[in-house]
Amino acid sequence: MTATTHPIVSRDRWIADRKALLAQEKELTQAQDRLAEARRALPWVRLHTDYVFDTVDGPRALSDLFQGRRQLLVQHFMFGPGWEQGCKSCSFMADHLDGMALHLAHRDIALLVVSRAPLADLQRFRARMGWQFPWASSNGNDFNRDFHVSFAPEDRQDGEVYYNFHLTPFPQTEAPGISIFYKDDAGDVFHTYSTFGRGVEVMMGTYGLVDLTPKGRDEAGLSYTMEWVRHHDRYEDTPAGAACCGGAKA
């Protein structure tokens, strides 16, 4: 897209077109409000397994990871055992967490990132990326498989796995997602919501700003491959040793 190929109009014409677009934006905002209300009205599922994770504080059950809050937002981060590093797209998501954590905490929401890789590998990568959020390893439990973000060979049926609430081809052993949990006064934990596929874009605040610009995401067709995204310390013009959010450096 260039100024020679894109329509150039008067300010009055631009205002008229912008008002027409504004009407569509308002419709979308109202539809999103209705959708959020319907999401909150979903029934909950009581968890009968208090999954135990490996954390920097030792083994901790899911019910112990709410950090004194009632609501827990879990990012299912693609980082499997034996991987050299975490998924670049999941890293793009995670780059947004530290800036949101304080604000979410004041809405009674704790953050937790969960992956199947051993804790030592998670901590090594976390230090490289400069992140501060808590990251737990589910390597010793069935959490990832139960929430359909990790797939064993026996989970495949004719090359498909159950992901995003339906059977679909998925070539990798790990998948991205977000799950929400609630803990009541009795200490019982409930699964209230999960989103997968493009639903995880809710964590990618950068995309919301990119979508406002003329070039947009610059991603071809409907593939949304995120080919332009890199680990934030791997962009070609990133200064050596740079890290996100003022944390540890590589």
Instruction: Tell me if 210 is assigned to some domain.
Output: no
Rounded to whole angstroms, the Cα distance separating 165 from 197 reads 10
Pair 243, 95: CB distance under 8 Å: no
Instruction: Tell me if 36 is assigned to some domain.
Output: no
> Residue 247 has what pLDDT?
38
Q: How many CB atoms lie within 10 A of CB 246?
A: 9
Instruction: Tell me if 224 is assigned to some domain.
Output: no
Query: How confident is the prediction along the chain (250 residues), in pLDDT tens digits per residue?
Result: 677 889 999 999 999 999 999 999 999 999 999 999 999 999 999 999 999 999 999 999 999 999 999 999 999 999 999 999 999 999 999 999 999 999 999 999 999 999 999 999 999 999 999 999 999 999 999 999 999 999 999 999 998 999 999 999 999 999 999 999 999 999 999 999 999 999 999 999 999 999 999 988 877 654 557 888 999 999 998 765 555 544 333 2
Residue type for position 155:
D
Instruction: Tell me if 73 is assigned to some domain.
Output: yes
Pair 155, 164: CB distance under 8 Å: no
Closest by CA to 138, choosing from 177, 167, 100, is 177
Q: Residue with structure tokens 């990133």?
A: 238
DSSP line for the chain: --TTTS----HHHHHHHHHHHHHHHHHHHHHHHHHHHHHHTS--EE-S---EEEETTEEEEGGG-STT-SEEEEEE----TT-SS--HHHHHHHTTHHHHHHHHHTTTEEEEEEESS-HHHHHHHHHHHT--S-EEE-TTSSHHHHTTSB--GGG-BTTEEEETTEEEE--SSB--EEEEEEE-TT--EEEEEEEEGGGGGGG-HHHHHHTTSSSTT---TTT---TT---TT-STTPPTT--GGG----
Q: Where residue 106 sits, what CATH number does that domain have?
A: 3.40.30.10
> Residue 250 has what pLDDT?
29
> Residue 163 has what pLDDT?
97
Instruction: Tell me if 155 is assigned to some domain.
Output: yes
Rounded to whole angstroms, the Cα distance separating 23 from 146 reads 42
The whole domain housing 126 covers 45-203
Number of domains forming the structure of the chain: 1
Rounded to whole angstroms, the Cα distance separating 192 from 170 reads 25
Distances from the Cα of 208 to the Cα of 170, 177, 197, 205, 217, angstroms: 26, 18, 17, 5, 10
Instruction: Tell me if 194 is assigned to some domain.
Output: yes
> Residue 2 has what pLDDT?
74
Instruction: Tell me if 58 is assigned to some domain.
Output: yes
Rounded to whole angstroms, the Cα distance separating 200 from 75 reads 9
Instruction: Tell me if 196 is assigned to some domain.
Output: yes
pLDDT tens by residue, 96-117:
999 999 999 999 999 999 999 9
